[in-house]
Amino acid sequence: MYSFASDYLEGAHPDVLKALTETNNRQSLGYGEDEYCAKATQMLKNIVENDNIDVHYLVGGTQTNMLVIAAALRSYQAVITVDSGHINVHETGAVEYTGHKILTRPHVKGKINSSMIADIMSEHRDEHAVQPKMVYISQTTEYGTYYTLKELKDIYTYCKDHDLYLFVDGARLGSALVKDDAPALKDLARYSDVFYIGGTKMGALFGECLVIVNNDLKKDFRYHMKQKGAMLAKGRMLGVQFLTLFSNRLYFRIGEHENKCADILRVGFKECGYNMYVETDTNQLFPILDKKTWAYVSKEYAATFMFNVDEEHICVRFVTSWATSEQTCHDFVRYLHQMS
C-alpha cells in the first residue's frame, strides 16, 4: 500500500535531517535569535534581492495564517478569500477565533480575481459592516492551480489602490515557483505585503518561513508570535532546516521533482481516459473516477476523497512530494492500465 493522500506523510528530506544531526550538539540562543536563523534570513534576502524584509520562522501553516492575519488587522477588519480558501474551510475557525470575519466569493479554479474583490468591497462601506483590509490567496491553490505573475500583479495593484494588504500563503509554494510564468520569490517580495515559504509540505520536518515586506506589518511581530504560542524555544531547528532548503536550490529541486512525479500520474490518468475536476500542472491532481476504479485503486493505493461528482463518480486528490519516487508513479500508472 502506498499513499498519495498528502505531502506530509514522511519525515524530512535527507539533507534536512543530516543538517539537524550535524548541528545537534552545538549550543545556540533560543527563540530564533540563533546564527542559523540569521544565516537563512540573509540567504533569503539575497535571493529576493531585498534587504528590507523581516523574516520569521514558524512551525505550521494554520499557526502562520492566524498569526499574520491577527497581527495585520484591527478587530473590526476582515480578510477576503475564495470560499475554498484554506483559512475558510480547513482551519476550524482559527481566523474567527482571533476575532476577524472572512469574506468570500465562490472560487474560479481555486482562484480569486480583482473583480470578485471589488464586488465584496462594494458591500462594505460603513461602520455597520466589517471593513475589508486584507486579501488572502494560496500559491498553489487548494485546487492545485497557481497564480501567474500577471495575475498576482493584477490583484496586488487592486489591493494597493484600495488600501488592502495582500497575503500569500505558500504552504506548497515550491511547486509553483518552478513554473516559468509564475512569480519568483523576488516577485512575491515585490507584489505582496506578506507571504510565506512553506516547509512542512516541502521537505522540512516542519516549519514555515514568513516574509514581511510591508513595513506597516513589521512592528512588534515577535510579540504576536510569543503571545499566540508560536515562538519555538529551540528556534535554531527552523533556521537549520531553511538554511538547508535555501542552499543548492534544494527547495526548487524538490518543487521540480514533485511536479515531474505528478506529470507521470497525469499522463497515466489521461491515457486511461479519466478527466480532471480542475486541470493543474503542479503536484496536486484531482481526477474524476468512477466508483469501480476507486475501489480497484484503493486496494493498493491511498488518495484523498474530495466529493461526490454524481451518483457514479467521485473527485479524488493525488499529491506527490519530495518523498515520492518516479518509479512509484510509473508503477501506479501501470497498475491503472491493468484495470482496463
In the complex, minimum distance from the CB of residue 77 to a second copy, in angstroms, rounded to a whole number? 8
In the complex, minimum distance from the CB of residue 190 to a second copy, in angstroms, rounded to a whole number? 27
Nearest alpha-carbon partner for 184 in 135, 215, 147? 147
Name the residue nearer to a second copy (CB basis): 224 or 317. 224
In the complex, minimum distance from the CB of residue 219 to a second copy, in angstroms, rounded to a whole number? 9
In the complex, minimum distance from the CB of residue 66 to a second copy, in angstroms, rounded to a whole number? 5
In the complex, minimum distance from the CB of residue 186 to a second copy, in angstroms, rounded to a whole number? 28
Name the residue nearer to a second copy (CB basis): 231 or 297. 231
In the complex, minimum distance from the CB of residue 11 to a second copy, in angstroms, rounded to a whole number? 4
Question: In whole angstroms, what is the distance from residue 307 CA to residue 318 CA?
Answer: 14
Name the residue nearer to a second copy (CB basis): 119 or 279. 119
Name the residue nearer to a second copy (CB basis): 52 or 229. 229
Name the residue nearer to a second copy (CB basis): 21 or 157. 21
Name the residue nearer to a second copy (CB basis): 144 or 235. 235
Long-range (24+ apart) CB contacts under 8 A made by 45-54 are: 47/185, 47/186, 47/246, 48/185, 48/186, 48/188, 48/189, 48/211, 49/186, 49/189, 50/186, 50/189, 50/190, 50/213, 52/215, 53/189, 53/211, 53/212, 53/213, 54/211, 54/212, 54/218, 54/221
To the nearest 10 degrees (0 to 180), the angle between helices 114-122 and 149-161 is 20
Question: In whole angstroms, what is the distance from residue 329 CA to residue 94 CA?
Answer: 36
Query: Which DSSP string do the residues of 272-308 spell out, in sequence order?
Result: TT--BSS---SSEE-BEEEHHHHHHHHTTEE-EEEEE
Question: In whole angstroms, what is the distance from residue 195 CA to residue 338 CA?
Answer: 44
